[in-house]
Amino acid sequence: MLQPPVPDPTALDAARRLIDSARCVVALTGAGMSTESGIPDFRGPRGVWTKNPAAEKQSTIVHYLADPEVRKAAWRARLDSPAWTAEPNAGHRALVALERRGKLHALVTQNIDELHQRAGQSSRLVIEVHGSMRRVMCWQCGRRAPMGEALARVRAGEEDPHCLECGGILKSDTISFGQALVPEVIDRAMTAAAEADLLIAIGTTLQVHPVAGMVPLAARTGAGIVIVNEQPTVMDEMADAVIREPIGEVLAALCGEGEA
């Protein structure tokens, strides 16, 4: 049986000192941020694609656009997503507390669930590099609308709803494999990293680029680096503090009231 990670008070103290002394903190969050809210990651031991490798096609733009059966499966999966009933966890609330302390400069997230905003994070600080599953967009005309409107049509019997304006293919307003990232969004994320005096990477293995490049960029410009992830990452050696414990518990301890 796997043993739980042993708390490292030295790393916790180092991270807390870095946060308390920082004036411009940038957080980067990945799928691990939301697992404590009941939203599984993709490639972890209990991940969506680990359990069902065929589901990866639903997130690959070439398959999604070309195959109606893939789209139908994707719409069924959207209906059943645990994200609709998930609530922000202690980690999300801790980053809100960091904002209230006046320290949080930007929050760059790879997640598409909007749990940061639902926790009370200011939308102006949140940079969604992979979009939001709570919006739907038309691949042909670009029209965007709340996802709930399309899901209501699926519940009413439409297996593959199309755009009501132009008849085009609808998909979640998220970045699929093979789909280009939005340059302006990535530029904003990288600019924030360059401006930070502390970058905290949370719940991400730091393997997805270009966003993972925020860590070495921040390090090159002199920022402190804290990594909070239950598993090792490829950039642990760059960090001033590495903490491998439950994310919500750690962030609650690190980001609450401290020196302003």
Active site residues: 130
CA pair distance 19, 191, nearest whole angstrom: 20
Task: Say which residue the tokens 């202690």 belong to.
Answer: 90
CB 247 within 8 A of CB 203: yes
6 exposed, middle or buried (CB, 10 Å; 0-12, 13-18, 19+)?
exposed
The answer to whether the CB of 138 falls within 8 A of the CB of 169 is yes
Distance CA 120, CA 240 (A): 29
Nearest to 247 by CA among 200, 199, 202: 202
